[in-house]
C-alpha cells in the first residue's frame, strides 16, 4: 500500500508516464485524450446559441443539497473497526431577500457559523466494519436496520409527530411508482425484490411503524431494504463505497422529499423554487431503479403545476468533477462564448467515453433521469449541468434522440439566467451549495416544521 501522499506529487505523475512500460500500456488503453485541431473544430460545431434569457424570471428560492461522508475508526488501536458518518445539508437561498446583498459581497459571519454547525445538517451514523447494532448478528443486518431507522426517524420528518412526513414515506411514494411488476400503485405498499435473509421474494412491506417479517423465514425485513444497499455491505472490510452509495441516494431522495411535502401542502410554492444537486441526475449501483420512479413522479408533479399555470420543476445537477467536466477542460478552447450543447449519445461515446460498450437502449438507460448540458457563458466560463428529462418514461421509441432536443426543456432559459447570475461564485468554488450558502447568507433547511413557513409565498408576502 502506498504511503499517504506518495502519488500526490506531480513529479511522480510525470515520471510514471515517461516509463516506457507505462507508455506502452497507455498506448493500449482507451481514455480521454485532447482532441486534434480538426476534431476540435468538429466538436465546436455541435454547440448552438442558447435560448434568450431577457425577461426571464429567476426562481425566488433555491434549495441546495450537499453531502459528505467520512469513514471513521472509533479507536486508534482498532483501525478496522469503523463507523460511517454521512452528513447531508440542505440550505435555502432566498433570492428575493438576500439577492441585494450580493453587490456589497456581504457575508454574515453568524449565518456562516450557523451553517457549519452540524445541527443544521442531517446526520447519519452507520456501521461500517466490525460493528453490530442493537444485538444484530452481522454488519449487514445492522446496516439494514440502521438505514431504515434513519429514514423513518423524526429528524427526516417535516412534522416530527407525523411519520407520514418521513423520508421513508417518500421512498414508498417513489417505490410504489416503480414501473413493471415491482410497482404496487399504492403508496402504502412497496415490494422488496427478495428477502435479504432467505432470498425468497418478491415480498410486500407496508408503511407502518411495526416490525415486519419475511413470510417465508420470519426474519425481519425493512422497507428501505428495497434500496438494496445492503447487498454491497462487507462484514470485515471498510464499507466506504456503501456509505457513498447511501449518501448519493439521500442526495437524490431529498429533493423528492421536499417536492412531495410541497405538493401536499403548498403546490404553488414549487413554481418559484429551484433545487441544486452537485452531481449528475443519475443513480448508480443497486438503487439505480429509483431513477425511473423519479422520472415518473416528476412528470406527475409537472402535470399538476401545468394545470395551475406554474413553471415546471427546476432541478439542476451542477457538476464540478467527473468525466464530462474533464472532457470540457480539453475542448473548451474550441467552443465559442454563449453556446450550449445537449450531449447526445453519439458524441458521448465518441469523445467522452471512447471505447466504451454502447448501451443498446442508449447511454444511462439504467441510471440517468436527466440530460447533461455543456454551457459556455458570454464571458467564456464553462459549466456542466443536468436537467431532468421531460418525459415520464424512456419508453418512447426515439427517446435517445428526443432527450437531447433543447426546445423540450422549457426551463432552460431560467437555468441559463440562474447560472449567469451566480457565475462567479459557481466558478470559483467546488462545493457549490456551501459556496452559495456562504456568499448569499443561506438558511439551513433540515426537514422540520419551519420548512413550510419558509417556503410558502404567503409567508414571504406577509414578511414583505
Residues facing 444 on adjacent strands? 91
- Least gap, CB of 129 to Zn ion (angstroms): 25
- List 92, 131, 195, 455, residue binding Zn ion (CB under 5 A): 195
Q: Which is nearer to Zn ion, 147 or 316 (CB)?
A: 147
Of 214 and 282, which has the nearer Cβ to Zn ion? 214
| Cell 456551501, located at residue | 434
**Residue 294: which residues within 8 A CB-CB, separation 6 or more?**
174, 252, 256, 283, 369, 388
Residue 70: strand pairing partners = 85
Using the rule CB under 5 A, is 215 a contact of Zn ion? no
Q: Which stretch binds Zn ion (CB under 5 A): 21-29, 94-102, 211-219, 436-444?
A: 211-219
C-beta closer to Zn ion: residue 95 or 147: 147
- Residue 201 or 362 with smaller CB distance to Zn ion: 201
Least spacing, CB of residue 205 vs Zn ion, in Å: 12
CA distance 239 to 250: 17
Using CB under 5 A as the binding rule, whether residue 93 contacts Zn ion is answered as no
> Can you tell me the distance from the alpha carbon of 175 to that of 166, in angstroms, rounded to the nearest whole number?
14
Q: How far is the CB of 220 from Zn ion (least distance, A)?
A: 9
Q: Is 429 in the site for Zn ion (CB under 5 A)?
A: no
Residue 190: CB minimum distance to Zn ion, A:
16
CB of 221 to Zn ion, least distance (A): 7
* Residues whose CB falls within 8 Å of the CB of residue 388, separated by 6 or more in sequence, listed in order: 281, 294, 295, 298, 313, 315, 369, 370, 371
Integer Cα distance of 214 and 3 in angstroms: 46
Residue placing its CB nearer to Zn ion in the complex, 199 or 346: 199
CB 193 to Zn ion: min, Å: 12
165 contacts 261 by C-beta, under 8 angstroms = yes
CA angle, residues 437, 444, 314, in degrees to nearest 5: 70
From the number of C-beta atoms within 10 Å of its C-beta (0-12, 13-18, 19+), residue 103 rates as exposed
197 binds Zn ion (CB under 5 A): yes
- In the list 26, 45, 217, 430, the residue contacting Zn ion (rule: CB under 5 A) is 217
Contact region for Zn ion (CB under 5 A) — 56-64, 112-120, 163-171, 197-205?
197-205
Q: Does 430 bind Zn ion (CB under 5 A)?
A: no
Measured in whole angstroms, the distance separating CA 390 from the mean position of its chain's CA atoms is 17
The stretch among 41-49, 209-217, 251-259, 279-287 that binds Zn ion (CB under 5 A) is 209-217
Interior angle at CA 259, CA 258 and CA 265, nearest 5: 90
Is residue 151 involved in binding Zn ion (CB under 5 A)?
Answer: no
Q: Binding residue for Zn ion (CB under 5 A) from 81, 216, 244, 429?
A: 216
Nearer to Zn ion, 160 or 201 (CB): 201
Q: Which of 22, 23, 198, 424 binds Zn ion (CB under 5 A)?
A: 198
Tell me which stretch binds Zn ion (CB under 5 A): 21-29, 66-74, 196-204, 291-299: 196-204
Which among 229, 151, 174, 149 is positioned nearest to 196, based on CA atoms? 229
C-beta of residue 211 within 8 angstroms of C-beta of residue 205: no
Quickly list DSSP for 324-393: HHHHHHHHGGGSPSSEEEE--HHHIIIIISTTPPPPTT-TTTTTB-EEEEEEE-TTS-EEEEEEE-SSS-
Residue 212 near Zn ion by CB under 5 A: no
Mask for 262-301, x = binds Zn ion (CB under 5 A): ----------------------------------------
The residues, ordered by sequence, that sit 6+ positions from 273 with a Cβ below 8 Å of its Cβ are: 59, 60, 61, 62, 63, 262, 314, 455
Nearer CB in complex with Zn ion: 45/198: 198
64, 171, 214, 290: which one contacts Zn ion (CB under 5 A)?
214
Q: Is 22 a residue that touches Zn ion (CB under 5 A)? A: no
In order, the DSSP letters of 2-22 are PPTTTTT-HHHHHHHHHSHHH
Tell me which residues touch Zn ion (CB under 5 A): 195, 197-198, 214, 216-217
Amino acid at each position: 500500500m502506498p504511503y499517504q501522499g506518495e502519488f500526490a506529487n506531480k513529479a511522480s505523475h510525470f515520471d510514471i508516464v515517461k516509463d516506457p512500460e507505462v507508455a506502452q500500456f497507455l498506448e493500449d488503453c482507451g481514455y480521454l485524450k485532447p482532441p486534434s485541431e480538426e476534431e476540435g473544430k468538429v466538436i465546436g460545431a455541435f454547440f448552438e446559441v442558447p435560448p434568450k434569457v431577457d425577461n426571464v424570471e429567476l426562481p425566488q428560492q433555491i434549495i441546495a443539497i450537499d453531502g459528505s461522508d467520512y469513514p471513521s475508526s472509533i479507536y486508534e488501536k482498532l483501525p478496522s473497526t469503523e463507523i460511517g458518518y454521512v452528513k447531508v445539508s440542505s440550505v435555502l437561498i432566498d433570492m428575493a431577500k438576500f439577492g441585494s446583498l450580493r453587490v456589497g459581497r456581504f457575508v454574515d459571519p453568524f449565518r456562516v457559523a450557523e451553517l457549519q454547525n452540524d445541527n443544521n445538517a442531517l446526520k447519519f451514523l452507520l456501521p461500517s466494519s466490525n460493528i453490530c447494532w442493537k444485538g444484530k448478528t452481522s454488519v449487514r443486518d445492522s446496516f439494514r436496520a440502521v438505514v431504515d431507522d434513519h429514514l423513518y426517524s423524526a429528524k427526516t420528518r417535516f412534522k416530527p409527530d407525523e411519520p407520514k412526513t418521513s423520508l421513508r414515506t417518500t421512498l414508498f411514494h417513489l417505490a410504489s411508482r416503480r414501473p413493471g411488476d415491482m410497482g404496487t400503485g399504492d403508496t402504502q405498499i412497496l415490494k422488496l425484490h427478495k428477502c435479504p435473509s432467505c432470498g425468497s421474494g418478491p415480498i410486500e412491506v407496508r408503511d407502518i411503524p411495526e416490525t415486519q417479517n419475511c413470510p417465508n423465514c420470519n426474519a425481519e425485513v425493512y422497507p428501505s431494504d428495497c434500496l438494496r444497499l445492503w447487498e454491497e455491505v462487507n462484514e470485515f472490510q471498510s464499507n466506504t463505497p456503501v456509505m457513498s452509495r447511501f449518501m448519493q441516494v439521500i442526495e437524490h431522495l431529498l429533493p423528492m422529499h421536499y417536492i412531495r411535502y410541497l405538493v401536499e401542502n403548498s403546490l404553488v410554492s414549487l413554481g418559484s423554487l429551484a433545487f441544486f444537486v452537485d452531481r449528475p441526475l443519475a443513480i448508480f449501483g443497486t438503487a439505480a431503479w429509483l431513477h425511473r420512479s423519479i422520472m415518473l413522479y416528476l412528470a406527475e408533479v409537472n402535470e399538476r403545476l401545468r394545470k395551475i399555470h406554474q413553471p415546471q420543476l427546476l432541478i439542476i445537477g451542477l457538476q464540478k468533477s467527473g468525466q464530462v467536466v474533464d472532457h470540457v477542460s480539453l475542448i473548451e478552447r474550441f467552443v465559442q462564448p454563449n453556446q450550449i450543447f445537449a450531449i447526445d449519445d453519439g458524441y458521448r461515446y465518441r469523445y467522452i467515453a471512447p471505447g466504451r460498450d454502447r448501451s443498446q437502449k442508449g447511454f444511462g438507460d439504467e441510471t440517468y433521469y436527466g440530460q447533461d448540458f455543456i454551457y459556455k457563458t458570454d464571458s467564456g466560463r464553462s459549466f456542466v449541468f443536468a436537467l431532468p428529462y421531460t418525459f415520464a418514461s424512456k419508453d418512447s421509441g426515439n427517446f435517445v434522440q428526443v432527450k437531447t432536443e433543447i426546445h423540450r426543456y422549457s426551463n432552460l432559459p431560467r437555468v441559463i439566467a440562474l447560472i449567469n447570475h451566480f457565475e462567479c461564485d459557481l466558478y470559483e468554488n467546488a462545493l457549490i451549495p456551501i459556496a452559495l450558502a456562504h456568499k448569499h447568507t443561506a438558511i439551513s433547511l433540515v426537514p422540520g416544521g419551519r420548512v413550510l413557513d419558509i417556503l410558502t409565498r404567503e409567508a414571504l408576502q406577509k414578511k414583505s
